Amino acid sequence: SRAVRLPDPADYDLSIHYDMPMVRMTIDGNPDLAPEELTAFECGWQFRPAAGFKAGVNAYHNVYRNVHAYNIGQIRVIENPVAVEIPFFLDNAMSGTVTGAEFSAEGRVGTAFRCRISVSGLDMRLDPSRGMLGRFRTVQESLGLDKDLVNAWLKSKEGKSPDWMGSLRCSWNPS
């Protein structure tokens, strides 16, 4: 299946300016935003081998394009009043994939006791656009941030996927 999310009017027209001592932050929309797009693939199978018991497995792969995210603009010093201006703007700054699977089973004993177990895994790989990475490197250099330290922080975020979780839920409802 395919889905498209058109930008809201606020995504185009947003303009917030926040002044603090020595710092001015601006957050602006973007009239050139493209719609966010999702292409989703999913398949699953459910079976009932006995009365009161069912199990299923489901797998999916989602492809995201033009995901809206706030990007950082050119940091500059302004003179009146003296402050550092940090501009953010909405941009089509991300794309990527989410792949996952789930197994679930549910069983009933009589009418009073029910138990459900599920296990799911999710592998999320969202990539910033080249423009976003380029602006990040410019900001990194303009602030004099240690390149090796920043690169180590970015690499520490790699390999954190897939995420796995499970749940067990049992209920007793005597009549």
Whether cis (ω within 30° of 0) applies to the bond prior to 49 is: no
The confidence score (pLDDT) of residue 145 equals 66
* Closest C-alpha to 93, from 126, 58, 52, 140: 126
* Tokens at 89, concatenated: 């703007």
The confidence score (pLDDT) of residue 144 equals 67
The confidence score (pLDDT) of residue 133 equals 62
Give pLDDT tens digits for 28-55.
999 999 999 999 999 999 999 888 899 9
Count other Cβ atoms within 10 Å, centred on residue 7: 20
The confidence score (pLDDT) of residue 172 equals 81
- What is the H or E stretch that residue 29 is in? none
With a cut of 50, list the residues of the chain below it in pLDDT: 159
Using an 8 Å Cβ cutoff, are 99 and 74 in contact?
Answer: no
Give the pTM: 0.68
